[in-house]
Structure 1
């Protein structure tokens, strides 16, 4: 009798096994996602490497005073200390990189992003702040926490900007008038909702317009964000039910610089949306820079003055490109390309005047009770000086010439508090109700 045996086929290791998904509480998943883990490991590895670099730099500064040679690079030790530091650095990168790679490969088996609840505002606020501080590094290293640029409707829906058919469907009910709102550094679109007021929603109701909220990585160069926004506005205008009759751009703080950049690059590229642009409104925008960033540059110079403290200037270099652009208010590539971000602080911007044919308005906030030379230059709203927000400058070529009727000052008001002022909403509404700018 012939015996037969049943042999199971070999297991295809490429087939994803059905492993149980960890039962994480939905409340926790709103704040933390499993996909955050490899990104966090990558951040921790890079932070540890930075600390090692600073430690070795201080060590070598001491050795230099004893006449001992440097290693193969400035700030690196030679001999046995150099070997130890290289070993520690290599081990850190090996362990961190291996752990991140392993977690990334396991995630498809252990996590189902489709089952995630909507993220909490607390989570989104932390990511926005992280991107503001080091968003350029996150993007350069491919970190999953890097914030992509998004255009969102009032209900939070992300517009599928690269899918023309889906984009047209999402905008089917859009009004002929388009309002775009751009937030400031380390913020997201939720910044517009303060003190029970949402400026975008209010203006949309008053002006029969459709508000679009911009979310972007504020750690990137302003000009990088401006160029990308110009391209996305062109896609948005093409997908609008009818070509937008009027477009108004409203920017708070850094957002105003991004809008100036977008307008410049849109005009340079001959984009169609430029013809519909009627209003540019700047709310507490540091057109000529913010003193806190310049103070950071001063601290960098102090730390660089002695060989023992010089290694700590690496901490200053953790500042994102977006933050260093705020030193003078950079808006174009030419303002920063080919120049060290952490070098001398001279203002080398290419003057960019307000665009002709567009009604431009400037709102400044100040903690002072009244204008004075000292208050104008130093007080401001806690972050942006009054003169910078109003576009005033000692050099005539850099001065932004807002008409007197196109300026408004919110007294005894802080930088973020400004967005909660009902008087601000009413003033912007009145401005956007006009078709042309008001001159002096």
Structure 2
């Protein structure tokens, strides 16, 4: 066997056969999608459309149409053969790696709904884990306490990424305050409301199965994880875990959306002006349901159902207040040296504006109205620094003491 040349790049993401099978399916989907795009462009040019306006309907006919159908059919046939080949390989139960977990989480963040709709094995099933293992296995030789801490990650991330620069809020709170941390692992490309319902059901099982009585349940969430948590609380009235829930801590959560996703909708609109570039708008519209929920911070099914989620222009969400009887704490960050000013107002931590992270909204029905004493704004910090900054941890520790 030929050895790699010195200095040659090595595979840094060790994949399982099921992963390669999933990537193979994505590759076929991409070939079919690009073929559709080129076919539409061809049909538009052949129809001599004007520079602006609506693209012509239908597909090319005759030999041209046959060629495009043949390309799609060949791609699907090859894809089915590869799927059978990879499916015949023995199932790999080897322990995953942080690199693989990060890679798969990123794919789910961008195309997670598509992965589920197509039955792709790369789709992440929601679970509660400790150290990347099912929490029941991890607790087999542990001594859990009645102070239960659940941590919920953000978009395109995974539960292992709570560990950053040698710090993990969950492990630190276990050491300092006696909490037992459990980490949610989920497909962040699904709608927030879908993940919220599934999370609420998992919390039912977690509290019921916990080895000791749960005296206190606390949830710490980062970014989109805060929206998923709020959505879970909105459908969990009367459930036992809600009775145990004492505090919620939100780190950089886009309670009222993120401007970068609204910018994505603007790009879609501009590309749709001319029939000659309209096909390329499809590329922008492949982004996941989870991402488009970040435009305004959708929490309920009613916030996105019965509408084109890519074209939503107005913030017409139904009000979803914070849960009654639960202390809520908000942390925002800004890359600026000052917590006020245009930079903080527009970009905040690079993804979430300060006002959105603090729940401020001009509509009083949507504003969260969290007391100033329950807020913190961190300067000279980006979105991910909220996971590792010492001052952020000290504030969380104070709030949870």
* CA pair 66-370 structure 1, distance change in 2 beyond 3 A: closer
Alignment correspondent of 1:259 = 229
Contact in 2 for aligned 1:128/1:186 (Cα 8 Å)? yes
Which of 122, 125, 146 is 2:102 aligned to?
125
Contact in 2 for aligned 1:56/1:75 (Cα 8 Å)? no
Which of 336, 340, 347 is 2:304 aligned to?
336
Distance 1:286 1:336 in 2: 17
User: SS at the partner of 2:151?
Assistant: strand
* CA pair 75-328 structure 1, distance change in 2 beyond 3 A: farther
* CA pair 245-368 structure 1, distance change in 2 beyond 3 A: same
Range 239-248 or range 224-233, more displaced? 239-248
- Residues 341-396 of structure 1 show CA distances to partners (whole Å, capped at 9, x for unaligned) of 11232112111111111000100000122233523421300010010000001111
Normalising by structure 2, what TM-score?
0.92
**Counterparts of 1:113-262 in structure 2 under 5 Å?**
113-114=92-93, 116=94, 118-153=95-130, 155-159=131-135, 170=140, 173-262=143-232
Give the number of equivalent residue pairs.
Answer: 387
Which of 387, 397, 401 is 1:429 aligned to?
397
Structure 1 residue 86: Cα displacement: 1.3
Unmatched runs of 5 consecutive residues or more in structure 2: 1-9, 51-55
**Counterparts of 1:266-277 in structure 2 under 5 Å?**
266-267=236-237, 270-277=238-245
Which of 350, 359, 365 is 2:327 aligned to?
359
Range 77-86 or range 222-231, more displaced? 77-86
Distance 1:212 1:75 in 2: 52
Alignment correspondent of 2:361 = 393
Alignment correspondent of 2:53 = none
- Residues 7-41 of structure 1 show CA distances to partners (whole Å, capped at 9, x for unaligned) of xxxxxxxxxxxxxxxxxxxx979712222232221
User: SS at the partner of 2:365?
Assistant: helix
Does 2:111 match 1:102?
A: no
Distance 1:313 1:290 in 2: 20
Unmatched runs of 5 consecutive residues or more in structure 1: 1-26, 68-72, 161-165, 434-440
Distance 1:112 1:51 in 2: 32
Does 2:24 match 1:47?
A: no
Give the alignment's Cα RMSD to 1 decimal: 2.0
User: SS at the partner of 1:262?
Assistant: helix
Point out 4+ residue stretches in structure 1 off by more than 6 angstroms. 27-30
Contact in 2 for aligned 1:30/1:119 (Cα 8 Å)? no
Alignment correspondent of 1:413 = 381
Alignment correspondent of 1:82 = 65
Normalising by structure 1, what TM-score?
0.84
Alignment correspondent of 1:325 = 293
Distance 2:379 2:20 in 1: 45
- Residues 317-360 of structure 1 show CA distances to partners (whole Å, capped at 9, x for unaligned) of 21001000001111111111111111232112111111111000
Which of 294, 316, 323 is 1:348 aligned to?
316
Distance 2:208 2:12 in 1: 37
Range 336-345 or range 420-429, more displaced? 336-345
Contact in 1 for aligned 2:339/2:377 (Cα 8 Å)? no
* CA pair 29-324 structure 1, distance change in 2 beyond 3 A: closer
Which of 226, 231, 247 is 1:279 aligned to?
247
- Residues 147-202 of structure 1 show CA distances to partners (whole Å, capped at 9, x for unaligned) of 1111012x332135xxxxx79x7497220111000011111112211121110001
Contact in 1 for aligned 2:258/2:353 (Cα 8 Å)? yes
User: SS at the partner of 2:246?
Assistant: strand
